[in-house]
């Protein structure tokens, strides 16, 4: 027997279905199908391929096998970054603006895989070429908090993070060349004025492995990353954002492996393996922005300045970097490799092209964003790669705090973007 509802009342709404744990996170519509790839860009491919081969041969012969291998790892990083379009700037923008956590979950996969490999390499003290692998950890203080937030504001204005700037320049995005120029200028300015900020209040680095061992550090990191995944899925289920846009892609598996595009998960795994390779070969984690300070300081020296007298370049390790050849510097080699590798990948994918006619407000935002990222990276002790990725993978509290303050900076950056004619994703968009 059933009882009719009282007059004037409406039937109860059905309970909201929960998203199964391993089901795809919901979006407001299906992701559009990827368009086919254009034809291979043969001239850029020939130029970038010859440049990669010639530079590798020169570095190997002039500076030895270790720098040569680092350049090769950089080339691989460039291919993986471009083919997967693996970004940090867009991932945080999509999360904060509309609640799409797809990119953040790809970060979690990259971070978890890198943390696993770091624990194995550093925990067993395994290194190549006589290197002694060590974790990346930074002090906890005002510089970290302000620098990471400033970096995030800059990347939303500049249109790319540290790694994204390099692979975008390699793929021919002219506006990001302006971002790179600002990045180098900001990092050099911060190095020059190191005395102004070197004594900001800070506590000693906190590295979990020093307290609970490498297995304990790894377990805590993986548990925290799983929590990030679950929270991002909950946010996405509640906000029901637009899907990510599709990029041109080959149809067959072999062609897709060579020409792109790759799923974000494949990119995350490839980047983790290559990043662990950098640690094995050099003893230090993959980084990006220390090279920008070096390049800018070398330019200052070439113009008659004396960067060797700056306090920044008199610190242990930095003096040797400035005195040595740029093509023997670990970070410079991987940075240059990323740009060339991305050029190869973009040419194979048929998408390499110089972008012309940059609006003046976009150009201003690119330069300003680059300057803010350069200063922020120096204050925070690194960027989204050297401080965020390497820090979390090393079990360092500084990496988690970098990410938290960068999310706050992203919120600020999104509110500044319209001042420069830059758009943000909206819930009603077809894609984000």
pLDDT at position 261 is 94
pLDDT for position 21: 53
Say what the pLDDT of residue 20 is. 57
- How far apart, in whole angstroms, are the C-alpha atoms of residue 60 and residue 410? 40
- pLDDT above 80 for 10: no
397-411 per-position pLDDT tens digit = 999 999 999 999 999
CA distances 140 to 52, 143, 198, 205, 246, Å, are 39, 8, 13, 6, 39
Q: Residue 197: pLDDT band by 50, 70, 90 thresholds?
A: very high
**What's the rounded Cα separation, in Å, for the pair 107 and 201?**
30
- Residue 7: its pLDDT value, please? 46
Q: Which residue has the higher pLDDT, 121 or 354?
A: 121
Alpha-carbon distance values, 67 to 53, 276, 359, 389, 406 (Å): 14, 16, 39, 22, 32
Cis amide prior to 268 (ω within 30 degrees) = no
Asked if pLDDT for residue 110 goes beyond 80, the answer is: yes
Please say if the pLDDT value at position 357 is more than 90.
no
What's the pLDDT at 22? 56
Give the pLDDT confidence score for residue 323 in this predicted structure: 95
pLDDT in tens, 246-284: 999 998 999 999 999 999 999 999 999 999 999 999 999
How much is the mean pLDDT over the chain?
Answer: 93
pLDDT average, residue stretch 188-206: 97
**Neighbouring C-beta atoms of residue 229, cutoff 10 Å:** 18
For the residues 288-298, what does the mean pLDDT come to?
98
Provide mean pLDDT across the span 30-39: 91
């Amino acid at each position: 027997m059933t009882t009719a509802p009282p007059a004037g009342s409406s039937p109860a709404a059905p309970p909201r279905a929960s998203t199964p744990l391993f089901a795809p996170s919901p979006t407001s519509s299906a992701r559009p199908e990827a368009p086919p790839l254009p034809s291979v860009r043969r001239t850029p491919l020939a130029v970038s391929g010859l440049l990669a081969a010639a530079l590798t041969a020169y570095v190997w012969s002039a500076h030895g096998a270790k720098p040569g291998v680092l350049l090769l790892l950089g080339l691989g990083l460039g291919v993986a970054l471009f083919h997967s379009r693996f970004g940090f700037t867009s991932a945080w923008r999509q999360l904060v603006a509309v609640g799409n956590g797809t990119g953040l979950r790809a970060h979690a996969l990259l971070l978890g895989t890198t943390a696993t490999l770091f624990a194995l390499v550093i925990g067993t003290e395994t290194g190549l070429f006589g290197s002694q692998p060590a974790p990346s950890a930074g002090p906890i203080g005002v510089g970290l908090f302000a620098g990471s937030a400033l970096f995030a504001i800059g990347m939303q204005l500049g249109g790319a993070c540290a790694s994204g700037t390099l692979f975008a320049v390699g793929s021919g995005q002219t506006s990001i060349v302006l971002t790179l120029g600002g990045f180098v200028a900001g990092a050099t300015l911060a190095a020059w004025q190191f005395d102004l900020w070197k004594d900001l209040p800070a506590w000693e680095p906190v590295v979990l492995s020093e307290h609970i061992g490498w297995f304990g550090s790894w377990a805590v990191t993986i548990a925290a990353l799983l929590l990030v995944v679950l929270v991002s899925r909950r946010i996405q289920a509640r906000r029901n954002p637009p899907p990510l846009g599709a990029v041109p892609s080959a149809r067959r598996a072999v062609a897709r492996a060579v020409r792109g595009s790759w799923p974000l998960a494949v990119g995350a795994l490839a980047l983790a393996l290559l990043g662990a390779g950098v640690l094995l070969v050099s003893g230090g984690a993959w980084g990006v922005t220390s090279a920008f300070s070096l390049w800018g300081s070398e330019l200052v020296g070439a113009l008659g300045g004396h960067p060797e007298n700056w306090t920044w370049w008199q610190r242990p390790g930095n003096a040797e970097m400035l005195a040595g050849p740029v093509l023997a510097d670990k970070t410079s080699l991987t940075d240059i490799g990323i740009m060339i590798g991305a050029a190869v990948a973009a040419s194979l994918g048929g998408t390499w092209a110089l972008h012309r006619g940059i609006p003046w407000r976009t150009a201003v935002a690119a330069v300003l964003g680059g300057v803010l990222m350069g200063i922020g990276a120096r204050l925070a002790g690194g960027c989204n790669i050297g401080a965020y990725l390497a820090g979390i993978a090393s079990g360092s509290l500084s990496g988690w705090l970098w990410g938290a303050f960068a999310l706050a900076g992203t919120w600020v950056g999104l509110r500044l973007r319209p001042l420069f004619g830059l758009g943000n994703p909206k819930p009603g968009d077809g894609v984000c």
